[in-house]
């Protein structure tokens, strides 16, 4: 494998000195880029794009051609694991993901198998191998998965939801069934991420999009416990380097100290938590990633730069910060504004690393 030319992102995650704050954006490969929309049209639909390693590689690389980003993230979807479990994933226009066969009882959960990442999910591993080869050491490649709780939410609800009634009904009325589902998902995510690392991912991230809808007690029992299980089972060294692990619970600001205690290397922080507060909460145990509100990218460049300055000042001097949005970039954002955001981080962050 080619020698890594830019390892700022990996060093920041391991809290090692960097000359500036590295930056990448959640959903940086996606619908805000006209070139992405062209490839998506060529693929036919979203999952066909995910399942074509060459096209997945192309859209992974597109933002790096436009912007001076410090990492590439595998183009895929968090719902690949439930799809591989046979739940019949499909996408309705304007409605997001849906499953033909949601699981809502012990019997259907008992029938689920743990997918083999090099069999049922081979297309993801082929995409990782292709991207890693084509990156040629330019920047590191991030692999990822959804968290067990977040995947379970979609699998039980049968798609997107606003009130989480089905998944919480199962959690409160049949906790044994819920724990069985979460354990199978934790095993699946562990083997899936380890396979991504073996295929060439140089860092991995777990997206716990829906952990923030739980009470503190339920978060620890039904979400954090299973992310802990994954962290304990991950390959942490490959290619002669440490493989950093980032956990991200959206709306999880109250639990940062608990998350830091899992042994992960970094935590994603959304815009509802001040980075200075987050830094105090984790007390130097982990690096932090975040945390600009993606909607700021609708603002003119001067306002974007002002927000970047505020967030850098909030984190303060020193290492261990990866600049990012607090969630994915919105599809309607002007790519020029994303460019202004990245330039502002390049311009303003070196002062914090002297």
Q: Which of 202, 188, 198 is nearest to 78 (CA)?
A: 188
Residue from 27, 104, 132, 279 carrying the catalytic annotation? 27
3-state class (DSSP) for residue 220: helix
Task: Classify burial at 166, counting beta carbons within 10 Å of its beta carbon; exposed 0-12, middle 13-18, buried 19 or more.
Answer: middle
Structural tokens at position 238: 């490959």
Q: Tell me which of 7, 32, 36, 77 is the catalytic residue.
A: 77
194 touches 234 (CB < 8 A): yes
Q: How far apart are CA 62 and CA 326, in angstroms?
A: 21
Query: What is 84-113 written as a DSSP string?
Result: HTT--EEEETTTEEEESS---SHHHHHTPP
- Closest among 4, 10, 35 to 24, alpha carbons compared: 10
183 has catalytic annotation? no
What sign does the CA torsion over 236, 239, 242, 248 have?
negative
Residue 34 neighbours by CB distance under 10 Å: 9
User: How many whole angstroms separate alpha carbon 298 and alpha carbon 301?
Assistant: 9
Residues with Cβ < 8 Å from 48, sequence gap 6 or more? none
Q: Is the peptide bond before 153 cis (omega within 30 degrees of 0)?
A: no
Residue ranges at the known binding site for substrate: 27-31, 77, 154, 209, 327
Q: Which residue in the list 9, 32, 154, 315 is annotated as catalytic?
A: 154
Q: Cα separation of 321 and 17, whole Å?
A: 10
- Write down the number of H helices and E strands in the chain: 16, 11
The one catalytic residue in 15, 20, 40, 132 is 40
Burial tier of 87 (Cβ tally within 10 Å: 0-12, 13-18, 19+): buried
Q: Is 31 a catalytic residue?
A: yes
H helix intervals, 136-164? 148-157
User: Catalytic: which of 31, 122, 220, 225?
Assistant: 31
Binding residues: 27-31, 77, 154, 209, 327
Q: Is 334 a catalytic residue?
A: no
Active site residue 40: yes
Torsion 220-260-311-345 (CA) sign: negative
Residue 154 appears among annotated catalytic residues? yes
Tell me how far the alpha carbon of residue 262 is from its chain's centroid.
17
> What positions carry a catalytic annotation?
27, 31, 40, 77, 154
């Amino acid at each position: 494998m080619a020698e890594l030319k830019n390892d700022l992102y990996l060093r920041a995650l391991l809290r090692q000195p960097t000359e500036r704050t590295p930056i990448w954006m959640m959903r940086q490969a996606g619908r805000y880029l006209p070139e992405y929309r062209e490839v998506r049209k060529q693929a036919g639909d979203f999952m066909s794009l995910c399942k074509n390693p060459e096209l997945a590689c192309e859209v992974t690389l597109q933002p790096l051609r436009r912007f001076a980003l410090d990492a590439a993230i595998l183009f895929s979807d968090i719902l690949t694991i439930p799809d591989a479990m046979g739940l019949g994933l499909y996408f309705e226009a304007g409605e997001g993901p849906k499953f033909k066969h949601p699981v809502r009882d012990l019997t259907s959960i008992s029938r689920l198998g743990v997918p083999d990442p090099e069999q049922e999910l081979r297309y993801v591993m082929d995409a990782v191998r292709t991207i890693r080869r084509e990156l040629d050491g330019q920047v590191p490649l991030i692999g990822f998965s959804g968290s067990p709780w977040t995947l379970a939410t979609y699998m039980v609800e049968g798609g997107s939801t606003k009130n989480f009634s089905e998944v919480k009904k199962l959690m409160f009325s049949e906790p044994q069934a819920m724990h069985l589902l979460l354990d199978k998902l934790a095993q699946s995510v562990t083997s899936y991420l380890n396979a991504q690392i073996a295929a060439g991912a140089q860092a991995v991230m777990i997206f716990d999009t829906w952990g923030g809808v739980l009470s503190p007690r339920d978060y620890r029992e039904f979400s954090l416990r299973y992310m802990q299980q994954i962290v304990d089972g991950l390959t942490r060294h490959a290619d002669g380097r440490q493989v950093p692990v980032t956990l991200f619970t959206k709306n999880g600001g109250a639990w940062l100290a608990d998350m830091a205690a899992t042994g992960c290397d970094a935590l994603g922080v959304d815009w509802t938590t001040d980075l200075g507060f987050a830094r105090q909460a984790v007390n130097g145990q982990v690096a932090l990633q975040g945390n600009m509100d993606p909607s700021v990218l609708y603002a003119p460049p001067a306002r974007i730069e002002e927000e970047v300055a505020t967030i850098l000042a909030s984190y303060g001097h020193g290492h261990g910060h990866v600049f990012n949005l607090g969630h994915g970039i919105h599809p309607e954002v002007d790519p020029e504004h994303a460019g202004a955001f990245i330039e502002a981080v390049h311009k303003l962050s070196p002062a914090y690393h002297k």
